[in-house]
Structure 1
Amino acid sequence: MVIDWSNTAVYNTIMSVATGIALLLILQFGRKLQKEEIGQIDSWVVGFAIPGFILTLTGAHMSLTWPLSKIGFPFDDIIFGEPVLAFGILLLAAAYLLHRRNHVYVRDEKLDARNDKLIAKRLQEDLPGLLKPLSYFGAAMGLALIAIGIAGITFQLFAAPKEEPISGLLADYPLVEASFISLLYAITGLGAVLFPLILKKNPAAGLVKTVKTLWLVAGIIFVAFGVMNYFTHIGLIVNTMK
């Protein structure tokens, strides 16, 4: 197989890494907030904004231009581009809300910006209400991720071409990679669907643990898979250049 790479773009490498890091950051922020050890809020704002910007930029470009259609995978532009765009915008919105809330605490309530515990206590009270409206769109996109997972199994998507190192070894067994990626999407989506249910004063401990577990597993896999793809995608390009 020969591909004219000058006419397309494949960057779901950084998409995958940014998605995984963002999921793990959400879990870490929740854990630190519960222990009142969040530190300076501005550092979390930047932490969420960086993957948010990357995902919004790459997701918007992929959703609007369909670069993967040029190498025969138009469905991947929907599968990767649109969920990434949605997640990126949600992260940027969350970063903005955190920044504004911190500003309000310091300016209007005269809290010292260095008083981490007082700010953490206020955030514990205010954050569920702030995130609730965002969580509904996130839950809807979670259902979309589950639908993508079902489509992946039904149509045996996600199989890498033989020219791609490592992943290409399974090219003759498309259901293997289809099952793996579809399950990854499904568990991420299930966590998003359940997320609005834990944004209340006393959420069920089992429900909180379920969301944490789903996103922990998904976050680690997204990061590891994205890192691996920096090698495999470079290899694919080398093996298919004109």
Structure 2
Amino acid sequence: MRKQVVGNWKMNGSTAVIDEVLDALKTERHAADVSVSVPYLYLGGAVAKLAGTQYRVGAQNVSEFGDGAYTGEVSARMLKDVGCSLAIVGHSERRRYFAESDEAVIAKLARLLEVGLYAVVCVGETLAERDSGRAESRIEAQLARLHTLMARGAGPDRFCIAYEPVWAIGTGRAASGDQIAAMHEVIKRHLGASYAVLYGGSVKAANAASIMALPGVDGVLVGGASLDAREFGEICRAAG
């Protein structure tokens, strides 16, 4: 299984940043599957910039609804229409700041699957859940809702899981190797070994190689470091 590197720019970036990071990315070829998820406004520019390369462009979110009277929303069909290949759903920041429920995340995944886009489905636990011994049960509860879609043909070529312990997002504090490997094993046991499981949580060039060497880690979901052309390039090389 090829490693995956998914860059998540979050609500950052500009046309200048796109030019700098993506122009640098285009000068290299990587043995991993690499994609960048940029803000909606920059999707068209990123798709044009990376046309004809190995790199894919993704969105950071998608509406749980189809086209219609949903002001401010962006549908899965629209993402495909502008050239997106994938989208992230259920990121911890969406759950925390916008109160996205597990049900909403599954609805968004279903919309992506309907139009043939790949999905990066984020799961994770809070510090309180981990400290109280409920980390594994919380992850399993999020995964359980996927089985209906899997039964309808949503195989490992349609989506992957990104495990992101909420307490390690943007804090500079990464989970230990043992913690990462243990949770990835739980996820693969629940879904099947053929489903890719990425790790997301303060991934940087300095720790990417060691994280991806852990058993059950099939790649990384990269936040702030994906906005730095040099550092993101190093992470991509580590994945190869």
TM-score w.r.t. length of structure 1:
0.27
Greater relative contact order (Cα < 8 A, sep 6+) = 1
TM-score with structure 2 setting the length: 0.27
